[in-house]
Amino acid sequence: MVMSEPWINIVWIGIGATVTMDIWAVIQKMLGMPVLNYALVGRWIGHCCRGQLMHQNIRQAAIIPGECVSGWVIHYATGVVFAILLIEIQGVAWLSAPTLLPAVLVGVITVLFPFLVMQPGMGAGIAATRTATPWKNRLRSVVTHGVFGAGLYFSAVLIVWINHP
């Protein structure tokens, strides 16, 4: 049962939105599209914790013990942080009456984090400039983050429904 404490609902919204994003990744993979391997996120963060923020190619960096688990934990924790961002922008009242547009806009805006931090740090360049198909990769990232934003909204609607049957 979901409790009515705002912070608990925000955590569930972040988790729900991240699950939505992961379902989208499964669909993309079934269609033969490449998807992010979260073990590489764990590897990158592991190296960041050891002082190496930038890589030519994160796939060629030394494996970090536990990188797969830590990558997935970071993925879900980031989803919760982005849910907090939405509530910071919209206010706690949004939790009682969620609307789609702000959630999707926040989701799309969150693409700035991979474009400006993760991709350069992992060797893909700013906004995937060092990849074979930068515009295709950018579009996929924006769509994926839009799906995450829709997941923020639908998770909030579900929580409102559960809390007020």
Residue 100 scores a pLDDT above 80: yes
Are the CB atoms for 96 and 159 separated by under 8 Å?
Answer: no
Q: Is 154 within a domain?
A: yes
For residue 137, CA distances in Å to 32, 58, 118, 125, 155 come to 14, 17, 14, 12, 26
- Give residue 1's pLDDT: 38
Q: Is 1 within a domain?
A: no
Q: Is 122 within a domain?
A: yes
pTM for the whole thing? 0.93
Domains identified in the chain, total number: 1
Q: Is 61 within a domain?
A: yes
Q: Tell me the C-alpha distance between 145 and 106, whole Å.
A: 9
Q: Is 99 within a domain?
A: yes
**Residue numbers of the domain that contains 53:** 6-163
For 32-82, the pLDDT digits (tens) are: 999 999 999 999 999 999 999 999 999 999 999 999 999 999 999 999 999
Q: Which phi and psi (to 5°) does residue 134 adopt?
A: -60, -45
Q: Is 94 within a domain?
A: yes
Q: Tell me the C-alpha distance between 21 and 61, whole Å.
A: 26
* Tokens representing residue 164 in the block: 């007020």
Q: Is 71 within a domain?
A: yes
Q: Is 33 within a domain?
A: yes
